[in-house]
Structure 1
Amino acid sequence: MNEQRVALVTGSTSGIGIEIARRLLRDGFRVVVSGRSTERGEQIASELGDGASFIRADLTEPGAPAKLVDATVEQLGRLDVLVNNAAIDHTGSLLDTPIAEIRATFETNSFAAIECLQAAGRAMREQGEGGAIINVTSRLAHIGVPTMGIYSASKGAMRSLTTAAAVELAPLNIRVNAVAPGMTRTPLYEEWVAQQDDPAATEAQVAGAIPLGRIATPQDVAGAVAYLASPEAAYLTGVQIPVDGGYIAK
């Protein structure tokens, strides 16, 4: 393979996604940044510099995941890595959450991600050189937290899909793995902390529950993704790396 490798990172116009795109660029990939906001996406791609490009996609629109993958291959000539990062948050009483909210959460976190995996897998099969698909799940796919049941279920579906897809796609040399971030310093996290009565005490409590004693950074998550996308992980498939400071190991 002489061509420069291409990575597509969904949901990469904010938070963890930006850092994943930045790290893969640093590792020598050409990277497609994707999200719903054209203005934001073009700004991010420009900030990331040479090797980064933006393709707009609302992955919940009919056919959007396949169109995104097709556009990536059309513009850059190939696809070697898909990072299934796009997701929305959800909190609410499990017994009282309306079915419309449940469906909306699964549309982005599960159904759209499955469609992205399918489309990327087909493109990699056509190229005949294999590839890597990395699903961003969550520690909440493994633990129970009140009010997070719907989100947990949507991420748990992707955790299960990772192992099943890894086995089915292995004959095509398509590796399917996952990373499961714990609490991470994203804009969403910072907003949540700021809303607490005592932000400093809340942050100390959160960090104190983590064996390594600190909250993850987006760069921590990006490092795990970069490893799974690299040749060094050529013999890994069907695994999930918990990027949670040891939280679920307790």
Structure 2
Amino acid sequence: MTARLDGKSVVVTGATSGIGWTTAVRLHADGACVVATGRDVDRGRALVEALGDRAHFVAADLTDPAAADEVFGACVASFGAVDGVVNNAALDHTGPLGAVSMDDVRKVFEVNAFGTIAMTRAAVLAMPRDGGSIVNVTSRLAYAGVPEMAVYAASKGAVHAFTLSAAVELAPRGIRVNEVAPGMTATPLYDAWLSGSEDPERTARDVVSRIPLGRVAVPEDVAAAVVYLLSDDAAYVTGTTINVDGGYTAQ
């Protein structure tokens, strides 16, 4: 019985922690050759050492104009082709609108929106003429207003709009473009946010009380949706959002 992604080469950005790390592990388990990218060299090397064969790490800062071409060049050199991309790298931001600086706004958009666009543009040039799959990791916040998250939400909303247009434009080439929109997910970033609240236990209960399925997501939930969209099972799926949020945005 063949694995779901046998023979596919996939680039994963932001792969050195959280959802990106778990997604890289799941893709590899499903047979993919994985090129993991991120800024944390030690964690990147640890990831590929844990995965073993069919894994390669490229240290990359997506704000560097040369990063995207370097990453895809490494994928082609290592595995012969680029079949899939997971645009997961993101910079978080929380804070009142009146206090945020425009420099911080630009930093968030530089990674979340411009980084995704740059990687997609480079992927289009690197992918074969007979198709491929791009999965953008957005957020429930692109669809639901939450106080003090406006800048982050706007950057993810930009990626959502980009996903729709890219899906239509690239369809004639057989390149599918979709997105996965996670809800609150138990990652190191979530843990740090909880620990910084006045009453972490109460905050955790409040978060869960707003989710119909009664728990926060785990990275494996998101990775499973990504694998589906990259696989041939989703051959007729493009321009679509999978909300992995326990029903949060259905309310």
TM-score, length of structure 2 as denominator length: 0.95
CA shift, 1:187, in A, is 0.2
Per the alignment, residue 174 of structure 2 pairs with: 173
Deviations 1:57-98 (A, max 9, x none): 111012211221122112221000000000010111213311
Is residue 28 of structure 2 the alignment partner of residue 28 of structure 1? no
Per the alignment, residue 237 of structure 1 pairs with: 238
Q: Which amino acid aligns with 2:34?
A: V
Per the alignment, residue 109 of structure 1 pairs with: 112
Per the alignment, residue 248 of structure 1 pairs with: 249
Per the alignment, residue 123 of structure 1 pairs with: 126
Secondary structure of the 1:96 match is coil
Secondary structure of the 2:117 match is helix
* Structure 1 unmatched runs, 5+: none
Counterparts of 1:80-119 in structure 2, within 5 Å, are: 80-119=83-122
* Alpha carbons of structure 1 residues 148 and 227: separation in structure 2 relative to 1, 3 Å: same
Does 172-181 or 93-102 show the bigger shift?
93-102
How many residues end up aligned between the 2 structures? 246
Deviations 1:172-202 (A, max 9, x none): 0000000000000000101111222322221
Deviations 1:139-183 (A, max 9, x none): 000111111111000000000011100000000000000000000
Counterparts of 1:143-154 in structure 2, within 5 Å, are: 143-154=144-155
Aligned CA RMSD, in angstroms, stands at: 1.1
Q: Which amino acid aligns with 1:73?
A: V
Does 15-24 or 33-42 show the bigger shift?
33-42
Q: Which amino acid aligns with 1:43?
A: A
Contact kept in structure 1, 2:56 and 2:78, CA below 8 Å = no
CA shift, 1:129, in A, is 2.2
Per the alignment, residue 191 of structure 1 pairs with: 192
Does 5-14 or 53-62 show the bigger shift?
53-62
Is residue 12 of structure 2 the alignment partner of residue 17 of structure 1? no
Secondary structure of the 2:134 match is strand
Give the Cα separation in 2 of the matches to 1:107 and 1:99: 12
Secondary structure of the 1:206 match is helix
Which contiguous aligned blocks of 4+ residues in structure 1 show a shift greater than 3 angstroms? none
TM-score, length of structure 1 as denominator length: 0.96
